[in-house]
Amino acid sequence: MPQALFRIWRGERGQGQFRDYTVEVGEGMVVLDAIHQIQATQATDLACRWNCKAGKCGSCAAEVNGMPRLMCMTRLSDFPPGEPIIVEPMQTFPHVKDLVTDVSWNYEVKKRITPFRPRPPDAPDGTWRMSQEDVDRVQEFRKCIECFLCQDVCHVLREHHKHEEFIGPRFLVHTAALEMHPLDTADRIAALKREFHIGYCNITKCCTKVCPEQITITDNAIIPLKERVVDEFYDPVVKLIQLVFRP
């Protein structure tokens, strides 16, 4: 049976080193299968997070050969034979153990974003009517599985550590889903500028490249939100109207 060499980060709280493991490679194997094989046969204490093994829970996010990826959706056949496959934890979040990081910062960020606030029902049966076009626009954003791979790759968080200020691409997608929702009445534009610092995003599009749900994060979520911020704060016509009609 063919074999593959895995080089896996082992350690706790940021301290550790890579260790090598040889894995028997079977047809159709993914990186998570190899991790499970190593756990079963060579390192029972190897920590990794996973749940669905179907690319839908977002738990198995890690870095494989330097790229943020879901381990359960990454086939061994994608890599050149004979070269080690390097698996590390995500770098943007605090390290816990081996391949596990603490992503709880993301849940705190989500709590700061004004939730969905629908307008009153407008149909005789007490429900709402929306055009299909408006529904389609936000549907893409709802595919997010909260793997946080986009947060991991974004240089604003990864290299500049702006976790206190910048909410990151995942939560710009979440905000876009709310702002573009045809029934929503809340206004998050001022918060996007002042509290969530959307201006830190310089449209590198790295987030879009790593999204396993193929959400067009930058073009469909971030850029339209940036345009709304510009319209609200910098549009000269809007500024003039505000000046003339300010009480």
Chain residues binding ligand F3S by CB under 6 A are 153-154, 156, 169, 201-207, 218, 222
Nearest approach, Cβ of 143 to ligand SF4 (angstroms)?
7
* Per-position x/- string for 68-107, each x denoting binding to ligand FES as judged by CB under 6 A, each - no binding: --x-x-----------------------------------
Q: Enumerate the H helices of the chain as residue ranges.
A: 31-41, 104-111, 132-139, 149-153, 155-158, 169-179, 189-194, 206-210, 223-233, 236-245
Q: What are phi and psi of 164, to 5 degrees?
A: -70, -30
Collect all residues with Cβ–Cβ distance below 8 Å to 198 and sequence separation of at least 6: 172, 192, 222, 225, 226, 229
* Per-position x/- string for 209-238, each x denoting binding to ligand SF4 as judged by CB under 6 A, each - no binding: -xxxx-x-x---------------------
Nearest approach, Cβ of 124 to ligand SF4 (angstroms)?
38
Which one, 25 or 146, has the nearer CB to ligand F3S? 146
8 A C-beta contact, residue 4 and residue 75: no
β-strand partners of 68:
63
* 18 touches ligand FES by CB under 6 A: no
**Residue 68 one-letter amino acid:** P
For 197-227, b/e burial (b = at least 16 CB within 10 A) is bbebbeeeebbbebbbbebebbebbbbebbe
Nearest approach, Cβ of 109 to ligand F3S (angstroms)?
13
The entry of ligand FES, ligand F3S, ligand SF4, none that residue 218 binds, CB within 5 to 8 Å by partner kind: ligand F3S
Among 3, 41, 51, 204, binds ligand FES (CB under 6 A): 51
* 149 touches ligand SF4 by CB under 6 A: yes
Residues 10-49 that bind ligand SF4 (CB under 6 A): none
Nearest approach, Cβ of 67 to ligand SF4 (angstroms)?
12
Among 6, 21, 148, 171, binds ligand SF4 (CB under 6 A): 148
Structure-block tokens of residue 235: 């549009």
Collect all residues with Cβ–Cβ distance below 8 Å to 204 and sequence separation of at least 6: 154, 155
- Local structure of 232: helix, strand or coil: helix
Nearest approach, Cβ of 188 to ligand SF4 (angstroms)?
17
Chain contacts with ligand SF4 (rule: CB under 6 A): 144-150, 169-170, 173, 210-213, 215, 217
Chain contacts with ligand FES (rule: CB under 6 A): 50-53, 55-60, 70, 72
